[in-house]
Structure 1
Amino acid sequence: MTATYASRPEDSRGRLFPESYSTFRSPFQRDRDRIIHASAFRRLKHKTQVFIEHEGDYFRTRLTHSIEVAQVARTIAGVLGLNSDLTEAVALAHDLGHPPFGHTGEEALSALMAPYGGFDHNAQAIRIVTSLERHYAEFDGLNLTWETLEGIAKHNGPVEGKVPYALAEYVARHDLELSTHASAEAQVAALADDIAYNNHDLHDGLRAELFSTDELAELPLLDQCFARVDELYPGLNYYRRRHEALRRFFGLLVEDVIAEAQAALAEVAPRSADDVRRAGRPVVRFSPDVWQKLKVIREFLFHRMYRAPDVVQMRAKVTQVVEELFPLFMERTDLLPKQWRKDVEEAQGETELARIVLDYIAGMTDRFAIQSHERLVGGDLAKEI
């Protein structure tokens, strides 16, 4: 049953470039389909979360992560009576703006772009779906609905302070009302992201042997999950035991978000999607107790996984890849692919040129960035990665 506060496709604020209504897909379904067929979405299969793409076939990539987020998001949206298609579209698009090498690549590009307006992966996602995907005859980008664009831009909350240039450039043409919260559907996508990465980073860290199952069993929330598994299945095989415990951890987070959202929505009592935006607070979130315990888990992961010696060593190497490619392309624009050179010819000033180079590098996959560095810069760095 659809809730009164759900986003309704028939009430969509439309697209920047008007299009005829599909006879067999709602506007939000159409958005989801365009995202799935986008070049940037396909490239996610060779972009990393924490580990470099070629380090192991079982580690999550941005693509598998996005699929997991979409699955969780649809589940929560269905329980809350929200529009599952819009929720899924935002979930599938939320990582499109990430550059190669995960957050390490983002930090490197942020530093390089500091003189030119900075870099933000959410803003870059907007740039991709509104400009850089150039396949359609009548417009640049995917021409997504206002609601999907709003969700991509604001799923983590209102955009306050200085607006990243890539986002500011678009909202000057198409106001996404950055000062308000996003729809409940976009908020669900944001929490599904948190649930997915909290769960799979534990999986990946175990597989990389950065910490042990026994260490996880002592962490808050996880302790009760392991205890329940041991009660139900005494003497269970090592791998099955940890999988069963992490299953329960995953379910615990989903159930907490659903219960907290139901309570918040009952309290706010929104009668429309716009009431959710104007509520002045998120209506989809973790309970305070679970949120505090998740902070302990995230702190554990930060020290034992994100800052593990092997990971830090690799971070330094891939940072060097980005730091050496950027000035090279700034100096030698002839090294850019032919289809990018037209933009270079039209660029006015160093800042516009830097943003073109940023768009090109940010769109690279891990392995293409490494291959490009080996081909254009040389040296033994690629062999060490």
Structure 2
Amino acid sequence: MREHGLASYAALSEQSLGREHDEPFKDERLAFERDRDRIIHCAAFRRLEYKTQVFVNHEGDYYRTRLTHSLEVAQIARGIARNLHLNEDLVEALALSHDLGHTPFGHTGEYVLKRLMKDYGGFEHNQQSLRIVELLEHRYPLFDGLNLSWEVREGIIKHSSDYDCAGNEAIQPYNPEQRASLEAQIIDLADEIAYNNHDIDDGLKAGYITLKDLTEVELWQRTFVMVGKLYPSLDDKRHILQTISYLIGELIHDLVQTTTANLRHNNVETLNDVRVLKKNLVSFSPEMGQLNQKLKKFLYSRLYRHSKVERMRVKAERFLTLLFENYMENPGLLPERHQQRFAIYGIERVICDYIASMTDRYAQDEYKRLYEPFERA
């Protein structure tokens, strides 16, 4: 089987650098297609359903979780890849795996574990995603992890945003001096497009931000006005959802046009041409980049630092810290299968893995089991 109709600089399954472990396959799926399927079926992917995006799961059934966010990133990333004639299977595998290593309670959990693990090797969620697919998933008879293709593992560890940057040690086997594939570069901005626009939707639904607040965001307001002219009789709900839809489309169009121009300007013809460049080729235009940055700043100050979000952040920081400290003092509280890993990875890293894997709900329940005297152990 071969991938047809792709650009000369796309990543191809048949040119993959391979998997860490040799294994027999029971069918003839392409390498990146198989990787995507393995990610979808792993336990860490299912747990994303109950991990915070912005709003904790118990705050309402409407709000995005890490799972629905990952699906939205995959949908956006595939659309971009199709327009650029890149490998959609690889893009989808990377989109679905990019948040596997996220902690409960979003970036709060990451900050807590980073602080608590500073003397024990640190914590960073891209490294944790890689650790999950290389070691912590136990599904196959001949190896630990998912045994994904090198290009998927490279894309996971090289995923970056304002929040995260992979540490030097974890990235060493993946040619840190080189650019990631275009498919991997897409994920950074598809992630941004998804969370910026869908966090607006969730924030409006929760009442933490209002349409009046959004009038100060040029990118939003001009699209909102345009939708109003196209559909003057729309109710507020549909007006908001159509604005988000048009805004996502505008960002994707700008990204595709700008990236196409970048490829042409840099005379890119092969994947190696992509890898040796000094900076990523997948980007917004300067104007769109500035407008998008203003939207991000608005969301940071008005939504992510809203008093109610802050209250949950403070609570989450407190009880995740207490869980970590309690496990350190009493390692026997961890399930037996985790205790068996102490001698291999060290008590601190195993505790970190255990907490990072928790869903919001499990972490809250564990806190109650340990600290509320009338809760069943």
Q: TM-score range by the shorter chain?
A: over 0.9
Q: How many percent identity over aligned positions?
A: 46
Matching residue within 126, 132, 149 for 1:145 = 149
- TM-score computed with the length of structure 1 as normaliser: 0.92
Paired residue type of 2:65 = T
Any idea what the Cα deviations from partners look like across 1:65-123, whole Å, max 9, x if unmatched?
A: 00000011111101101010001001100000100000011111111111112110000
Per-residue deviation, 1:377: 2.3
Distance 1:156 1:372 in 2: 31
The residue matched to 2:340 in structure 1 has which SS?
helix
Distance 1:356 1:164 in 2: 21
Paired residue type of 2:255 = V
Contact 1:117–1:164 (CA under 8 A) maintained in structure 2: no
Q: Structure 2: which 5+ runs fail to align?
A: none
Distance 1:46 1:234 in 2: 38
Matching residue within 102, 113, 132 for 1:98 = 102
Structure 2 match to 1:376: 370
Structure 2 match to 1:52: 56
The residue matched to 1:115 in structure 2 has which SS?
coil
Distance 1:63 1:380 in 2: 33
Any idea what the Cα deviations from partners look like across 1:125-184, whole Å, max 9, x if unmatched?
A: 000000000121111100000000001011328xx998355x26xx5xxx2112221000
Matches within 5 A, 1:129-144: 129-144=133-148
Matching residue within 26, 45, 48 for 1:41 = 45
Matching residue within 5, 13, 36 for 2:17 = 13
Distance 1:183 1:54 in 2: 38
- TM-score computed with the length of structure 2 as normaliser: 0.94
Matches within 5 A, 1:1-385: 1-20=5-24, 23-156=27-160, 163=167, 167=170, 171=172, 175-346=173-344, 352-378=346-372
Structure 1 residues 281, 368: CA separation in 2 closer, same or farther (over 3 Å shift)? same
Structure 1 residues 68, 162: CA separation in 2 closer, same or farther (over 3 Å shift)? closer
Contact 2:196–2:299 (CA under 8 A) maintained in structure 1: no
Contact 2:55–2:309 (CA under 8 A) maintained in structure 1: yes
Contact 2:157–2:166 (CA under 8 A) maintained in structure 1: no
Contact 2:35–2:93 (CA under 8 A) maintained in structure 1: yes
Residues matched between the structures, number: 369
Per-residue deviation, 1:9: 0.6
Contact 1:133–1:141 (CA under 8 A) maintained in structure 2: yes
Paired residue type of 1:14 = G
Distance 1:214 1:335 in 2: 50
Contact 1:49–1:101 (CA under 8 A) maintained in structure 2: yes
Structure 1 residues 273, 99: CA separation in 2 closer, same or farther (over 3 Å shift)? same
Structure 1 residues 184, 380: CA separation in 2 closer, same or farther (over 3 Å shift)? farther
Distance 1:379 1:63 in 2: 33
Per-residue deviation, 1:343: 0.9
